[in-house]
Amino acid sequence: MNNTQPMRALITGITGQDGSYLTELLLEKGYEVHGLVRRSSTFNTDRIDHLYVDPHTPGARLKLHFADLTDASRLVTLIDTIQPHEVYNLAAQSHVRVSFDEPEYTGDTTGLGTIRLLEAIRAAGSDARFYQASSSEMFGATPPPQNEETPFYPRSPYGAAKVYSYWITKNYREAYGVFASNGILFNHESPRRGDTFVTRKITRAVARIAAGQQSELFMGNLDAVRDWGYAPEYVEAMWRMLQHDEPDDFVVATGTSYTVRDFLELSFGHVGLDYRDYVRFDERYLRPTEVDALIGDFGKAQDRLGWTPKVLTPRLAQIMVEADQAALEVEGSRYVDAVQTA
Ligand code: NAP
Ligand code: G4F
């Protein structure tokens, strides 16, 4: 990078949890950041509003573009006009339970969206480095610990779509020499996590119950084991993958394991409550096929990228509960459990 020509990154999924943290990281590093935003009738840019400045402002380095991963020609135009040095493909229909309700749409975005973007890079003759947001859901039924050599056995339309994207990323690396890397990220959370993922659903409920605004929390399978890390640390690993001397695939995880029940205990315990007094079972939150246990071995990322996790699950639960309590004080009650199956 030099003073006149900043590095340019294109982020799909910039309005999501990871997209927002990655944008902060890249702007801090001096990048010009281009983000792909879906047009919607209400604004969907809450997570990046604090970073946005009017594009007419001299030196503005965050630029947003309307586009969709289902629109191949738009992706070609964007790659061609932006000429990014790095492309981070974070966009996806990312909810596992929802993928059973919307399997075809999930395949179209989470799976085929990746080939559309890779083809756009190829068609534009771009030498951009490419990051694919692969997932520990690809391991599915294969027991832990899981690393880069572990066979995939997806258990949902989402997991199957991510397996397709993983392999097509590898194929473009081998077939066309694209610098294309897969980050196989285990669950990572934050106060910006979507409301219907289990950690955030729990910490929002804890804040509301502690404030006397809610009396019950309906949940599904409490026995599932997950390896929950902290999202701001995980986007650092994404960036490091594209600075590495060669494209490769890396597991990013904490190597620790907790059940959903453990996360309930930690979160309710933080406000001095016993989760058993509030949590009720609702089968609508079960999945037709479940991923029982995910625990990642991040040794390769540690050795080759110098990446290690610092925030582990107990501290993560505390960060999220405190953030939801603070948010509740500011905004009052806006939580509506509208999407009943998520
Ligand atoms: P997220 O919060 O659900 O964000 C998903 C992003 O994708 C949003 O910006 C969303 O836009 C966008 N998007 C969805 N469909 C799209 C489409 N058709 N065209 C363009 N954009 C579309 O997800 P996240 O937690 O940040 O995760 C980022 C990526 O990592 C995802 O690919 C996810 O599958 C993967 N991943 C996540 C985890 C995790 O634990 N968080 C672990 C492994 C892998 P809207 O804001 O308009 O909805
Ligand atoms: O928070 P979750 O919905 O995340 P899940 O299914 O593990 O997927 C997340 O992590 C993946 C990486 O492994 C990502 F690729 C994916 O995009 C997403 O970010 O559910 C976690 C566990 C599941 O076993 C689920 O059955 O929590 C269990 N659970 C129990 N009750 C619940 C609930 N999950 C949700 N969302 N809501 C419940 O009421």
pLDDT of the residue at 338: 37
101-123 in b/e form (b: 16+ CB < 10 A) is eebeebbbbbbbbbbbbbbbbee
Q: What is the pLDDT of residue 332?
A: 57
Q: Which residues in the chain show pLDDT less than 70?
A: 1-3, 332-342
DSSP 3-state helix, strand, coil percentages of the chain (rounded to 5)?
45, 15, 40
Residue 33: CB within 6 Å of ligand 2? no
Query: Which atom of ligand 1 is nearest the CA belonging to 188?
Result: 40
For 21-64, what is each residue's pLDDT tens digit? 999 999 999 999 999 999 999 999 999 999 999 988 998 999 99
pLDDT computed for residue 93 by the predictor = 98
Ligand nearest to the CA of 88: 1
**Pocket lining: 220 vs ligand 2, CB cutoff 6 Å:** yes
Query: Are β-strands 258-259 and 225-226 bridged in parallel, bridged antiparallel, or unpaired?
Result: antiparallel
Instruction: Identify whether the C-beta of residue 254 lies closer than 8 Å to the C-beta of residue 309.
Output: yes
The full set of domain ranges for the chain reads 8-193+228-258+293-313
C-alpha 191 – ligand 2 centre gap (Å): 16
- What CATH superfamily is the domain 8-193+228-258+293-313? NAD(P)-binding Rossmann-like Domain (3.40.50.720)
Residues labelled as active-site residues: 135, 137, 158
- Pocket residue to mutate for ligand 2, from 195, 201, 226, 252, most atoms within 8 A of Cβ: 226
pTM to 2 decimals?
0.96
pLDDT for 339 = 38
The mean pLDDT value of the chain amounts to 95
